């Protein structure tokens, strides 16, 4: 099973600041890495797939980068609605796995 | 519009059984893999199981293999998860998910989830 480790666990930032979230895989997942956003009491929402492709309706302030085992989700300027938990997910092989999540909270 | 509505959750004793359902609408159900993903209270997401469009291919997480069975009824546009020999660690919100068009292994649409509580 591929283990995804996200860091930091919590990121405390102010609106307008840049957020940088990390996801590290226990083995290469090639470019098969996605990111999801989850707000309290809601189901997750797909943000980015295959490292850097934004899903429909996702604002351009969300971007992804990386390859192999190290990946980054960047939110260029935090909006109030961006404070949430973010999960990375690999689809390289089964079982599909998620990282433990990074909570982006208001400082 | 894609809609997924889970039902069947509730309180069950350890060792008991429960069947979850996910009613799908707004798309051609039989054309898509479908997934179950769970989330324990305050914890992260865990993929539980998936099934292909005609039900011939199924996969399970090791933690539920041999106890859970995924199935579907394409005539009723409904996905199921039969859960037997339930344990306290199975307590979670269970989501059904439909893949994103790009890949069957990306969860593009999610239901609202149904809570399963395993406790005596």
- Rounded distance, CA A50 to CA A81, Å? 24
- Is the Cα torsion angle B104, B107, B113, B114 positive or negative in sign? positive
Query: What is the enclosing helix (H) or strand (E) of A49?
Result: strand A45-49
What is the reported pLDDT for B101? 87
Contact B62, B48 (CB under 8 A): no
Interatomic CA distance for residues B70 and B84, integer angstroms: 12
Over 90: is that where the pLDDT of B104 sits?
no
Tens digit of each residue's pLDDT (9 = 90 or more) over A38-93: 999 999 999 999 999 999 999 999 999 999 999 999 999 999 999 999 999 999 99
> Which residue in this structure is represented by tokens 């980068």?
A65
Compute CA distances A30 → A24, A53, A68, A93, B95, whole Å: 12, 14, 5, 11, 27
Residue B50 has pLDDT above 90, yes or no: yes
Handedness of CA A84, B104, B111, B108 (dihedral sign): positive
Q: In angstroms, what separates the C-alpha of A69 from chain B's closest C-alpha?
A: 19
CB-based contact, A98 to chain B, within 8 Å: yes
Structure tokens belonging to residue B82 = 């039969």
Q: With beta carbons under 8 A apart, name residues in chain A contacting B113.
A: 43
Contacting residues of B for A93, CB less than 8 Å apart? none
Cβ of residue A99 closer than 8 Å to a chain B Cβ: yes
Chain A 54-73, CB below 8 Å of chain B: which residues?
A: 55
Tokens encoding A23: 């996801």
Yes or no, beta carbons of B105 and A95 under 8 Å apart = no
Its sign, for the CA torsion A3, A84, B114, B6, is negative
Q: Which of A43, A97, A98 sits opposite B111 (nearest CB)?
A: A43
Burial class (CB in 10 A: 0-12, 13-18, 19+), A54: middle
Segment 1-60 of chain A within 8 Å of chain B by CB: 1, 32, 34, 36, 38, 43-46, 49-50, 53, 55
Res. B111: pLDDT tops 90: yes
- With an 8 Å Cβ cutoff, is A101 touching chain B? yes
Contacts of A84 in chain B (CB under 8 A): none
pLDDT tens profile B13-35: 999 999 999 999 999 999 999 99
Quote the longest CA-to-CA distance of chain B: 43
Question: Which residues lie closer than 8 Å to B28 by C-beta, 6 or more apart?
Answer: none
What mean pLDDT comes out for the span B46-59? 96
Closest C-alpha to B44, from A93, A62, A4, A68: A4
Among A73-77, A81-85, B51-55, B102-106, the least confident range? B102-106
With a cut of 90, say whether residue B97 has pLDDT above it.
yes
For B99-107, what is the mean pLDDT?
A: 89
Q: Is B33 on the interface with A (CB under 8 A)?
A: no
**Chain A residue numbers touching B107 (CB-CB < 8 A):** 36, 44, 46, 89
Q: Which residues of A touch B112 (CB under 8 A)?
A: 43
Q: Across chain B, what does the average pLDDT equal?
A: 96
Residue A85's φ and ψ, nearest 5 degrees, are: -105, 140
Q: What angle do CA B28, B32, B38 make, to 5 degrees?
A: 120
């Amino acid at each position: 099973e591929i283990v995804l480790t996200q860091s930091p666990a919590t990121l405390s930032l102010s609106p307008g600041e840049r957020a940088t979230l990390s996801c590290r895989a226990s083995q290469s997942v090639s470019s098969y890495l996605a990111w999801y956003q989850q707000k309290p009491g809601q189901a997750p929402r797909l943000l980015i797939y295959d490292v850097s492709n934004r899903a429909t309706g996702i604002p351009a302030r969300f971007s992804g980068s990386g390859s192999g085992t190290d990946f980054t989700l960047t939110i260029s300027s935090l909006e109030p609605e961006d404070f949430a938990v973010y999960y990375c997910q690999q689809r390289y092989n089964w079982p599909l796995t998620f990282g433990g999540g990074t909570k982006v909270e208001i400082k | 519009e894609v809609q997924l509505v889970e039902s069947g959750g509730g309180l069950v004793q350890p060792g008991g059984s429960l069947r979850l359902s996910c009613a799908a609408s707004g798309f051609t159900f039989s054309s898509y893999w479908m997934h179950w993903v769970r989330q324990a209270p305050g914890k992260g997401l865990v993929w539980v199981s998936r099934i292909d469009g005609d039900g011939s291919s199924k996969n399970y997480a090791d933690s539920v293999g041999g106890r859970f069975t995924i199935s579907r009824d394409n005539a009723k546009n409904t996905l199921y998860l039969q859960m037997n020999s339930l344990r306290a660690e199975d307590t979670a919100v269970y989501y059904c998910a439909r893949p994103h068009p790009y890949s069957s292994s990306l969860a593009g649409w999610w239901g609202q989830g149904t809570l399963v509580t395993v406790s005596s």
